């Protein structure tokens, strides 16, 4: 009997409204779960990338010709490896990288080709200089050292997209392929973020910052998405339980009440009428007559 009542109580789950609701909740929970997996996947990628960067930052500088080539792009595992090179800066071919900010201040980077002894140019981002970012030219940034220069820097891969296009010796992102079109000499693919140069310039620029090796917010984002998935399932279960409870209450109110037995009133020992003594012809409750003859 109880199993039958339970089946009747949950039959609302098979109505069109509740079936569609269940499908929507299932899809929402699945989507949230997948997004959580994606965030945890991003976390694993970030951790793997950080391990590579940490290893590269600790390696001693390698001659640039051993790692970079004019014919192939920078391999993913070579980013932030330190390389060394010697040559002469071609200041006239300096390219300004616009819209670079540091600590909330606007400024620009200066990329100068370093022509090595082999004749191949290495693009060197010499650093950042504060400017008003309006009408900046190559003469507005500190000049590089003249003559033979030795540099040490971190390898970076080329940027892509419209931001890497060069116009009027300026760009928004560094790409050796785009800048190389404006130079006569062949160019190593990729570029270098300057760490040190010798001899030192008269006016140094602000050096590039090393990458952030933190894990980012991916772990907490993944937990949040999985929490949303669990919340959707729990919410559906709670609403179904609440609907079933309400249905049970309505069913109880619809059930006919059992007929109540007629109430039997016990006989009363009292009487609403005075008791009369029929033999005497008078009421026992009548007032007593005076037992006097009327004489004084």
Q: pLDDT, tens digit, for every residue of 143-178?
A: 999 999 999 999 999 998 999 999 888 999 999 999
Quote the strand ranges of 74-160, DSSP E.
82-89, 95-102, 105-116, 121-130, 148-156
pLDDT at residue 294, as a whole number:
47
Phi, psi at 242, each rounded to 5°:
-65, -40
- C-alpha separations of 160 from 13, 55, 178, 222 in Å: 54, 26, 9, 29
How far apart are alpha carbons 97 and 107 in whole angstroms? 9
- Opening angle at CA 213, ends 208 and 214, nearest 5: 130
Return the axis-axis angle of helices 16-58 and 218-254, rounded to nearest 10°: 170
Q: Looking at 74-83, 110-119, 122-131, 278-287, which range is the least confident one?
A: 278-287
* Alpha carbon distance, N-terminus to C-terminus of the chain: 94
How far apart are alpha carbons 149 and 121 in whole angstroms? 13
Residue 253 has pLDDT above 70, yes or no: no
How far apart are alpha carbons 171 and 109 in whole angstroms? 10
Per-residue pLDDT tens over the stretch 229-250: 999 999 998 888 888 877 666 6
């Amino acid at each position: 009997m109880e199993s039958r009542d339970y089946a009747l109580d949950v039959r609302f789950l098979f109505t069109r409204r509740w079936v569609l609701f269940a499908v929507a909740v299932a899809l929402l929970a699945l989507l949230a779960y997948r997004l959580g997996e994606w965030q945890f996947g991003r976390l694993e990628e970030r951790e793997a990338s950080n391990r590579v960067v940490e290893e590269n930052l600790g390696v001693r500088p390698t001659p640039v010709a051993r790692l970079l080539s004019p014919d192939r792009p920078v391999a993913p595992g070579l980013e932030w490896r330190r390389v060394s090179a010697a040559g002469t800066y071609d200041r006239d071919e300096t390219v300004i990288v616009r819209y670079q900010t540091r600590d909330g201040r606007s400024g620009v980077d200066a990329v100068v080709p370093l022509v090595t002894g082999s004749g191949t140019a290495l693009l060197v981002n010499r650093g950042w200089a504060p400017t008003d970012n309006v009408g900046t030219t190559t003469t507005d940034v500190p000049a590089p050292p003249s003559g033979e220069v030795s540099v040490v820097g971190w390898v970076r891969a080329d940027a892509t997209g419209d931001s890497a296009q060069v116009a009027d010796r300026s760009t928004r992102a560094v790409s050796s392929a785009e800048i190389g079109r404006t130079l006569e000499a062949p160019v190593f693919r990729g570029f270098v973020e300057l760490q040190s140069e010798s001899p030192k310039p008269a006016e140094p620029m602000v050096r590039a910052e090393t990458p952030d090796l933190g894990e980012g917010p991916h772990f907490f984002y993944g937990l949040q998405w999985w929490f949303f998935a669990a919340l959707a399932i729990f919410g559906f279960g709670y609403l179904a339980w609440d609907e079933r409870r309400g249905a049970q209450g309505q069913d109880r109110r619809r059930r006919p009440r059992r007929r109540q037995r007629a109430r039997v009133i016990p006989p009363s020992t009292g009487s609403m009428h005075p008791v009369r003594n029929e033999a005497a012809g008078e009421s026992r409750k009548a007032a007593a007559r005076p037992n006097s003859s009327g004489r004084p």
